[in-house]
Structure 1
Amino acid sequence: MGFLDDLKRQADAAKALQNTDTGFLDRQAALTNTACQTASGYFATLAQQLNVLCPPSRVSYRLDRRQAFDGLRLRDFRADARRKKLRGHEAFDHVALRWRLSSGAPVSFVKNFLPDIEQLESRLRRSGARFSSEAVRNPATAKLQEMRYELVADFEASVWVTPDHDAGRMRFELVNLDGFETVTLDFASFEIGSGRLDELARWIVGEPNTFVQGGQQLRRIEA
């Protein structure tokens, strides 16, 4: 066997391996796309039902020790899904569900301690609330005396699902389901079906649930 024949043999072996790898990745992608389609349809139907019911939240949303909001109405649910190209085929880029936690109540308060100001503003940014702030300074020294805040106690919450097609996994980012925090965790794509999504829906409306059981790389980040 000549050198060229040896190179051809190596190239054929490499090509066969590449074809095997591509076939495996395509199967992973198909499984993940199916899970995304299931989640997208579930979110669309869930949004329709909850926009009729507008259930009250069972969670207390706390901006600080004094400012807490109970019984916020869950409303304005919007389901969304976007697609992209993956190896020449259409695939899901993400699936999302967003909604408002609404009271409509105007709120105003004052902070004059820097750590409290920093923590409050972090939570306000995470909450999705529209707010205005005004710095009050000593006219003689320009030193900050206090911060005044005004807002309407309407907040944002969401579920954002990002697929990893090649790995056959899906990352869930859950924002403000249990107070002002972000929870992230991963599931294998084959685990995402109506049963798992029912548990997520129970979590959204504040009922006992087992959604995170079996998830991996669970993280909770408080605002």
Structure 2
Amino acid sequence: MSFLNQLKSQASANFPPDPQRIEKRLADGSVKHERIKLRHPEKNTLLAVKFDYITGSRGSVKISADHEAAKLSFRVADASGFDVLQPSWPAPQVQTDTLDELAKIIVAQSNLSG
């Protein structure tokens, strides 16, 4: 099973040429972004440049059965950013509540710990 995951991200830099490097990398990757100049409230001097953007990644869920050990292993990739969760449970424990928790992982509302 695969799904599309969108993650709000940001990067900031305060010394040239770092802001230009960040903006070039975002542009090279065709990532739509917003450039925000952060200024000192009294002096109006430039403190940093912040880039807000949304990254999209393709997430996936893979379930493997270990018949000899009677276990189910789940591999959940990129469900809440760029991460991989690999919980494993005895097969009899994988009931509706476990599958509900897996669904929560996919929509980024989980408390699951492998």
Q: What residue number does 1:178 align with?
A: 80
- Segments of structure 2 that go 5 or more residues without pairing to the other structure are 8-22, 32-54
Task: Report the equivalent of 2:25.
Answer: 110
> What amino acid is the match of 1:179?
G
- Larger relative contact order, structure 1 or 2 (CA cutoff 8 Å, min sep 6): 2
Equivalent-residue separation in structure 1 for 2:60 and 2:92 (angstroms): 22
**2:50 is the alignment partner of 1:149:** no
Q: Distance in 1 between matches of 2:82 and 2:24?
A: 19
- Unaligned stretches of 5+ residues in structure 1: 1-96, 112-147, 216-223
- Deviations 1:169-203 (Å, cap 9, x if unpaired)? 11111101121011212111111111111111122
- State the percentage of identical aligned residues: 22
> Please, what TM-score do these two structures have when normalized by structure 1?
0.30
Q: What is the CA–CA distance in structure 2 between the aligned matches of 1:196 and 1:102, rounded to whole Å?
A: 24
Name whichever structure is richer in helix by fraction.
Answer: 1
- Give the TM-score, by structure 2 length: 0.55
Residues in 2 aligned to 1:202 and 1:101: alpha-carbon distance in whole angstroms: 13
Q: Moved runs in structure 1, 4+ residues, more than 2 A?
A: 108-111, 148-154, 209-212
Q: What is the number of residues matched between the two proteins?
A: 76
Find the aligned partners of 1:100 and 1:179 in 2 and give their Cα distance: 11
Give the number of the structure whose alpha-carbon radius of gyration is greater: 1
